[in-house]
Amino acid sequence: MQRLLFGSSIIRHIPPFLLGCHTKRSSTTCNLTQGLNQVSSFLDVGLSLVITLYLCLPNDYQLCFLEHVTVLIGIAVNETPVAGVIHQPFYKLENDGVRKTGRTIWGLQDVGVGGFVPCPPPSSLIITTTRSHSNPTVEKALQAMNASQILRVGGAGYKVLQLLEGKASVYLFASPGCKKWDTCAPEAVLRATGGVLSDVRGRTYRYGAAVPRPNAAGVLAAASPQLHADALQKIPVELKEKLAPET
């Protein structure tokens, strides 16, 4: 594991306004704390430079979709996401069929990625999108893609993992709803592999304490600039105008 530039102690000192943490069940909190401890255990003490740190814990915790759960830590420097950790606390079912073990994926600008084996995108267009936050605009954008398959899964971290592991070509969510803490870490890991994450007009999001937390103009991400450009030109102009009016 590469050493990252910040220590586990930083987690105790995150300014509350940057912390996104929503849980509905005490058992969830317990499991997520374990996951977070696993993440923090490999972080080397010695804070060098942290401009903005986004931490996201899932609020849509459902027993049926444990592998969708991710704990996200994203670091942005000068409003650009440069480092990300995507921890899946319940990645793999053990031989006993009950216990789940986790894995930790990371990406660092100019260094690379680890914790998983990157795979090329599928040969046909497979879109990954929201499982629980759809609406007519989201569906209209999906229809315009003319995809061979649409995967509906939970969480921005899990959807970006599907891009990184060759399960999907494009992540499209033509709606407000995602926040900076949902996309900072996934975008950093995606960028470290040459991928792109933007709004539905193709504009990159800025990350920092002074920027708005909602990603109001949706999410379009792909494993390569070419796949991203192809998807971008398929999104109907009226949807782009509606979600991301030109200023």
182 lies in the site for ligand A3P, by CB under 6 A? yes
* Residues binding ligand A3P: number (CB under 6 A): 14
44 labelled binding-site residue: no
- Following CA atoms 56, 19, 80, 5 in sequence, which dihedral angle do they give, to the nearest 10 degrees? -90
Give the one entry of ligand A3P, Mg ion, none that residue 169 binds, where binding means its C-beta sits below a cut-off of 5 to 8 angstroms depending on kind: none
Task: Report the distance separating Cα 44 and Cα 161, nearest Å.
Answer: 24
Q: Which of residues 28-67 bind ligand A3P (CB under 6 A)?
A: 58-60
- Decide if 95 contacts 105 (C-beta within 8 A): no
Of 72 and 223, nearer to Mg ion (C-beta) is 72
What is each CA distance from 2 to 36, 52, 115, 195, in whole angstroms?
18, 21, 10, 21
Among all residues, whose Cβ is closest to ligand A3P? Answer: 177
Give the one entry of Mg ion, ligand A3P, none that residue 89 binds, where binding means its C-beta sits below a cut-off of 5 to 8 angstroms depending on kind: none
Residues 6+ apart with CB under 8 A from 192: 84, 107, 108, 109, 111, 112, 113
- Summarize as ranges the residues that interact with Mg ion (CB under 5 A): 59
- Decide if 86 contacts 182 (C-beta within 8 A): no
Q: Which of residues 74-133 bind ligand A3P (CB under 6 A)?
A: 130-133
The binding site for Mg(2+) comprises 182
Binding residues for ligand A3P, rule: CB under 6 A, are 58-60, 130-133, 154-156, 173, 177-178, 182
